[in-house]
Amino acid sequence: MSVLRPQDQLPGLNAATILLVGTDDALLQQLADAMLKEDCASTLKVHLAQSLPLPSNVNRPRIDLIVFVVNLHSKYSLQNVEESLHHVDATFFLGKVGFLATGAGQDNHCSIHRNTVLRLAHTYRSPLFFCDLEVEGFRATMAQRLVRMLQICAGHVPGVSALNLLSLMRSSENPFLEDV
Amino acid sequence: MDETVAEFIKRTILKIPMTKMMTVLKAWDFLSENQLQTVNFRKRKESLAQDLVLLCEENGVSLNDAALLDIIYTQFHRHQRVWDLFQMAKEPGEDIDLSDMEQFKSSFKKILQRALKNVTVTFRDTEENAVWIRIAWGTQYRKPNQYKPAYVMYYSQTPYAFISFSQLRSNTPLLCQALTIASKHHQIVKMDLRSRYLDSLKAIVFKQYNQNFETHNSATHLQERRLGLDINMDSRIIHENRIEKDRVHRVTQEIFGDYSQPRLEFAQYKLETKFKSDLNGGILAEREEPLRCLVKFSSPHLLEALKSLASAGIADAPLSPLLTCIPSKGMNYFKIKDK
């Protein structure tokens, strides 16, 4: 399948799977390790991909949350994410997609403006997180947030759905971009 | 004893870091074991230097001995200077002359002394048939300036010399000429290779960097590596692009090999090409003159950084041959023109 759809498969029992998409393999690996260190009632699985579409001949569980990781130091990583977004079905963007921008702390290495990723996240109506994945403390906190978000997206938190979470997070968005 | 020599020795000793002090003095071999034992090395450097200078005076130190100490200091701190590669050539048809090292040294010294009345030339042999030459420049009327020397490292059975020029640049042609004539060559050319790391330059020039001691073929090696990686990795992490990752790893290995790369700090590309653009029109397109542009890559360890670009996801593999040809071509300055 060249396009990822959220309801293409039946969910696994107590399983929650996240897909991290980004060019910075080392950072994705570290984030994955940090997420798996968290205490979680659900069975977590982390899939790492450089880009979409994913290879088609593989058996994989249902993906509950996709996080696109953009490295602000690399235009190539933004380009890669933009191209990968074409391979995600529109229904995924109802709370099951997030953007993560790393590298904002080193301003002189940034070749992508903050507004570019803000606009990207706004276009796809999905939350955007800024987190310097290279710093262990920030990475651990981000991992915690992602695990909670993943549990909600997988439906493991009673009373809260992915769409609920999305509308809750939207109210704190930058108001000036609403007009764009 | 000449006061300038004493001052020169004192200043050289003050440059030596305390951790290396004993090693350097022993390598110099001018002060005896007994004399070194009488010195208190825990003193402050200023007074330690004065004690050592007094001992040197007792032994009757000469300018040559002092220059030798400077050479040894530089040998231990070769990365503090920038080294250029020079290649000499003989006349076509000339036989390889197995010239005598002593003959070379006396000839070199004579040529410089004939041109400039005041010049200090000191030699120190090393293993591998190489000699370090230190030259302190003066003029017809002024004594040599011992604090701005030039250094040459010459491999006698090869046409290669590594030169680190002094700040007194006007003597460069004379130095090159002396080197060429004394070694019985016809001409000398500056190659496009420069770095602080003399040992890496040597490795590149003499093709010693690809010491690969792998005995089994690379495919099985990759398998073993991958198994090793899997054991450490959590089975809950799945790499979707495993095939691509392996391909990138394999291509990188093929190009860069398994060994550690020689150390360079930069690569510079001077472009003199016409601007090519996919977009029609535009300010830079359709110009007759080439666009002049300089691209410089710098890094504490350039080749290792280039090697890790593809696996870090910053560049596609295989890398441009302009980057990967650096050790094999032995250049880190490039001029790129339209064909």
Of residues B122 and B219, more confidence is placed in B122
**Where a domain ends, among B79, B102, B117?**
B79
Q: Percentage of chain B surpassing pLDDT 90? A: 40
What pLDDT was estimated at residue B233?
64
Global confidence as pTM? 0.77
More confident residue, B321 or B222: B321
- B201 within domain boundaries: no
Query: Is A23 in contact with B311 (Cβ distance < 8 A)?
Result: no
**In terms of domains, do B247 and B324 share one?**
yes
Nearest by Cα to B64 from B124, B142, B140: B124
Question: Could you tell me if B95 and B23 lie in one domain?
Answer: no
DSSP letter at A4 equals B
> Are B132 and B72 contained in the same domain?
no
How many CA atoms does the CB half-sphere of B292 hold within 13 Å? 1
Q: Which residue has the higher pLDDT, B39 or B226?
A: B39
Assigned token pair, B115: 């041109």
In a domain, B202, yes or no: no
Distance CA B50, CA B68 (A): 19
Residue ranges in chain A whose pLDDT is less than 70: 1, 171-180
**Which residue among B138, B165, B196 closes a domain?**
B196
Q: Determine the Cα angle at B263 with ends B307 and A135, to 5°.
A: 55
Pick the closest to residue A142 from A128, A156, A159 (CA basis): A128
Residues B179 and B222 in one domain: no
Range of the domain at B35: 3-79
Residue B238 and residue A58: Cα distance in Å, rounded?
A: 11
Per-residue pLDDT of B105-138, as tens digits, reads 999 999 999 988 899 999 999 887 889 999 999 8
Q: Which pLDDT score, from 0 to 100, does residue B68 have?
A: 94
Q: What is the pLDDT of residue A177?
A: 52
Rounded Cα gap, residues B199 and A108, in angstroms: 33
What pLDDT sits at residue B120?
Answer: 92
**How much of chain B, in percent, has pLDDT values that exceed 70?**
88
The answer to the question of residue B208 being in a domain is: no
Task: Please tell me whether the interface predicted TM-score (ipTM) of this complex is above 0.90.
Answer: no
| Together in a domain, B307 and B228 | yes
The helix/strand/coil state of B225 is: helix
pLDDT at residue B96 tops 70: no
CA atoms of A59 and B96, how far apart (whole Å): 68
A33/B311 touch (CB, cutoff 8 Å), yes or no: no
DSSP assignments along A70-137, one per residue: EETT-HHHHHHHHHHHTTB-GGGGTTSEEEEEE-TT-GGG--S-HHHHHHHHHHTT--EEE--TTSHH
Whether residue B156 lies inside any domain: the answer is yes
Q: What superfamily does domain A17-52+61-164 belong to in CATH?
A: P-loop containing nucleotide triphosphate hydrolases (3.40.50.300)
Q: Are residues B64 and B85 in the same domain?
A: no
The predicted model gives B10-36 an average pLDDT of 90
For residue A44, give both structure tokens: 């977590």
Task: List chain B residues with CB under 8 Å of A32.
Answer: 234, 237
Q: Which of A50, A51, A133 to mutate to test the interface with B (most CBs of B within 10 A)?
A: A50
Is residue B134 located within the same domain as residue B190?
yes
- In this complex, do B314 and A74 lie within 8 Å of one another by their Cβ atoms? yes
Residue that finishes a domain, picked among B141, B162, B196: B196
What is the rounded distance in angstroms from the CA atom of residue B97 to the CA atom of residue B101?
Answer: 12
Residues B240, A58: C-beta atoms closer than 8 Å: yes
Residue B329 buriedness (CB in 10 A; 0-12 / 13-18 / 19+): middle
Domain assignment present for residue B205? The answer is no
The predicted pLDDT at position B207 comes to 85
The pLDDT value recorded for residue A175 is 53
Tell me how close the Cα of B35 comes to any Cα of chain A, in angstroms: 54
> How confident is the prediction for chain B on average, in pLDDT?
85
The gap from C-alpha B3 to its chain's centroid, in whole angstroms, comes to: 34
Give the span between the Cα atoms of B266 and B302, in whole angstroms.
6
Pick the residue from chain A with its C-alpha nearest to B316: A76
Geometric angle at alpha carbon B56, from B54 and B62, rounded to 5°: 130
Question: For residue B211, is it within any domain?
Answer: no
Tell me, yes or no, whether B138 lies in a domain. Answer: yes
As a whole number of angstroms, the distance between CA A68 and CA A77 comes to 10
DSSP state of B294: E
Please state whether beta strands B160-164 and B83-89 pair in parallel, antiparallel, or not at all (unpaired).
antiparallel
Greatest alpha-carbon pair distance for chain A in Å reads 46
B188 secondary structure, DSSP code: E
**Chain A interface mutation, best of B240, B242, B243, B252, highest count of A Cβ atoms under 10 Å:** B240
Residue of B296 and B220 predicted with greater confidence: B296
Q: Residues B329, B265: one domain?
A: yes
| Cα Rg of chain B (Å, integer) | 26
Q: Specify the number of domains making up chain B.
A: 3
Largest CA distance in chain B: 81
Residue B318 sits in a domain whose CATH number is: 3.10.20.720
